[in-house]
Structure 1
């Protein structure tokens, strides 16, 4: 995990959010900017989004989410988006309003679990339950039958294996264990795959897979 990351926490500014901000800064040894949507939307551009944005699920209603989308449009580089304080029974499609979703943490997750997940996310992985990952695939799956594209055919055998495991929600470590290679080797393969398919993150790679790889190839 590089310590050049800038983190933005979008929430109400109160004692609880300030205590949470302090816990994150101590645990990650990174600066965390606590902002409201009003501050982010100010025309003087005094405040800006970090590389990672944490959303308090209880804070962002539809109106605030619309404000965020408008503010986000001003930034060329997409931030990794993380939802915290999420109810366990939330419908998965409510999470897919965030287009660069990298992690979801629930109301009963403790700070140690959140810090471990944040470290993984900043190391290039995702922190989604298997159910959310699979629901995401289903949500964006095209209605028409997808045939395998030439771009997928051009991937190496090992890259295809990794894409299939990625589609099943496997982490870098799980892929490494399955293929008997190092985690760094998996990261190198993913970097090469992302370049070949023009994807910036794992979710974009999953979306690409849904539009370019047949169901038989993904099985």
Structure 2
């Protein structure tokens, strides 16, 4: 069964905002509610409803941005944020500042683009500029490559021993647990340190917690 969808418009309480609410209801055929203060979001959330926040960034000032973040972040279930009236050069920054963001519309976006994009977000897709998507994917690929590269060089036995080290086990304990000699464990650890370019067990564990 499809979930019910509800859209909150975060903007000033004005004639223009009321007109936008009416327009969105007409075009999207969903419940649309105008929210002008963070306190208005302190309401009970229905687990059977998908919630979307359409935030007018020209209205949200730096002075109260943290208040909005605090209230919206309470809505962690079935929630997405769509930002509009944004500056093109700030798009990448906005993705970092608004973790639940699923769509961004610049000031130049017209009503047709806005409706098309919101429908895409309603369908579980994302709506960002091509340049931002390219940048984000390139960053992700670089990060994954850096993470995979040293991990791929470790043998299955070295990974097994490194996982033992993560538990705080000594070389003798690792040897007993894996039915190896203590000398073999030391040899494997030497190779692990060398491959990961770390100097001690603490640095190896720190790396392992992040990448394994």
What band does the TM-score fall into relative to the shorter chain?
0.5 to 0.7
Larger mean Cα displacement after TM superposition, 140-149 or 115-124? 140-149
Aligned partners of 1:66 and 1:39: how far apart in 2? 12
The SS at the match of 1:90 is helix
> Whose radius of gyration is greater, 1 or 2?
2
Map 1:142-157; keep pairs closer than 5 Å. Answer: 142=143, 145-147=146-148
Query: Which structure carries more relative contact order (alpha carbon 8 Å, separation 6+)?
Result: 1
Q: Deviations over 1:64-102 (max 9, x none)?
A: 221122213433415111011112333521342110111
**Quick check: 2:11–2:34 contact (8 Å CA) kept in 1?**
yes
Report the secondary structure of 2:148's partner residue: coil
Dislocated runs of 4+, deviation >4 Å: 46-50, 137-144
User: After the TM superposition, which residues 170-209 of structure 1 pair with which residues of structure 2 at under 5 Å, given as runs?
Assistant: none
Structure whose residues are more often strand by fraction: 2
TM-score by length of 1: 0.57
Change (3 A) 1:73 1:91: closer
Q: Secondary structure at the match of 2:5?
A: coil
Distance 1:70 1:135, change over 3 A: same
- Asked whether the equivalents of residues 102 and 121 of structure 1 are also in contact (C-alpha less than 8 Å), the reply is yes
Please state how far the C-alpha of 1:30 moved relative to its aligned partner: 1.1
Query: Which residues of structure 2 form unaligned runs of 5+?
Result: 153-209
Q: In the alignment, which residue of structure 1 is the partner of 2:188?
A: none
User: Please, what is the CA RMSD of the aligned residues?
Assistant: 3.2
Aligned to 1:201: none
Report what 2:173 is aligned to.
none
Give unmatched runs, 5+ long, in structure 1.
151-210, 213-219
C-alpha distance in structure 1 between counterparts of 2:88 and 2:75, whole Å: 31
Q: How many residues align?
A: 149
